[in-house]
Chains A and B, each alone.
Chain A
Amino acid sequence: MSAKHREFESEALVHMDVLYGLAMRFTGGDDAAAQDLVQDTLLKAYRAWDRFEPGTNCRAWLTTILRNTFINDLRRRQARPAPVEYDEVAERSVYPQLHEEDAEGGFFDRIVDQEVIRAIEELPEDFRVPLVLADLEGIGYQEISELLEIPVGTVKSRLFRARRRLQQRLYRYAIEMGYIR
């Protein structure tokens, strides 16, 4: 193993699970696409390894490469985006149903992690990608607007709808599982 490979392994490959998790969220749980995305990301990073400054945040550098790789591919695929279907009923806060028994939102903690992951991954792509960028990566509306080449108003709207859909889905799941009445 070369010195470069050894260094890359200890600095970059240790973040593979984080990258793969993020890739799964971006690709909607498509394992093959997520693996390809992580592979492309890490190969790009390996080729550019001499440009990485030791001591800086390697994980942030890698997630930026992954995000840009995914979004470039998304733009190619979405040259003709499919219209998003709206369901107003699914887009209300679940707070009115829950506030009497659970005003602080503790109900979310009772839902198993895997269900949340599945709920994010099953959101339509137009909603899922802004949600992953904003809520998982902490990116602001303006930057998301530039990355996805959509107006800031559309970012807000899609983020709003994504969050509401997610909440409604988790609420229905919690009822089915008997976590709440």
Chain B
Amino acid sequence: MTHDEQPPGDAVSPEGGGTVDELSCEEAARSVFEYLDGELPPDYSEKVHRHVEMCRRCYPYFSFERAFLDYVHDRGMRPARSAELEERLNRLLKDLDEREP
């Protein structure tokens, strides 16, 4: 596997990872985005979910990353206005109208 294909793990705690429900904090953190994106296989997603719900270190970390993704979505989709574009399109559509029977 190349460097490009393997996301690095993201160790959360400087104190080292604990284990909750057969999953270490490091293992749970490694899947953070796949979990939040709903991209994990259901069984593994459930395992991560149980870990996060029970783990005092991972719960705020996952909440933080969730807040980040929500924030990027909300702000990133902000519309933009261009009077120049509007003018250009109206002119083009008018031209098309005139050419069409």
A residues lining the B interface (CB < 8 Å): 1-2, 4-5, 8-9, 13, 16-18, 20-22, 24-25, 31, 35, 38-39, 42-43, 46, 84, 86, 88, 91-93, 95-96, 98-99, 102-106, 108-109, 113, 116-117, 120, 131-132, 134-136, 138, 140-141, 151, 153-154, 156-161, 163, 166-167
- CB distance A21 to B67 under 8 Å? no
- CB distance B80 to A42 under 8 Å? no
Closest B residue to A20 using CB positions: B80
Q: Which residues of B contact A136 (CB under 8 A)?
A: 72-73, 76-77
- Besides A86-B3, A93-B10, A116-B75, 15 more A-B contacts (Cβ < 8 Å) are A21-B78, A21-B79, A24-B80, A35-B84, A38-B89, A46-B96, A98-B64, A99-B61, A103-B64, A106-B67, A116-B76, A140-B39, A153-B6, A154-B4, A157-B7
- CB distance B68 to A163 under 8 Å? yes
Q: Is the interface of B mostly helix, strand, loop or mixed?
A: helix
Closest A residue to B86 using CB positions: A16
B101 CB to closest chain A CB (Å) equals 10
CB < 8 Å: which of A1, A18, A141 contacts B37?
A141
- CB distance A92 to B10 under 8 Å? yes
- CB distance A116 to B79 under 8 Å? no
A22 and B7 in contact (CB under 8 A), knowing A39-B92, A140-B39, A167-B68? no
7 closest Cβ pairs, A-B complex: A105-B67, A17-B79, A153-B5, A103-B60, A160-B7, A21-B80, A108-B71
- CB distance A135 to B73 under 8 Å? yes
Interface size class of B (residues with CB under 8 A): 35 or more
- CB distance B67 to A99 under 8 Å? no
CA distance A118 to B70 in the complex (A): 17
CB < 8 Å: which of B60, B63, B64, B89 contacts A16?
B89
Q: Which residues of A contact B64 (CB under 8 A)?
A: 93, 95, 98-99, 102-105
- CB distance A96 to B12 under 8 Å? yes
Instruction: Provide 27 A-B residue pairs closer than 8 Å at the C-beta atoms, listed in order of the A residue.
Output: A1-B94, A9-B93, A18-B79, A20-B82, A21-B80, A25-B76, A42-B89, A46-B96, A93-B61, A95-B12, A95-B64, A104-B60, A104-B63, A105-B64, A105-B65, A105-B66, A105-B68, A113-B75, A113-B78, A141-B39, A153-B1, A153-B5, A153-B6, A156-B39, A158-B4, A160-B8, A161-B7
Closest A residue to B38 using CB positions: A140
B43 CB to closest chain A CB (Å) equals 18
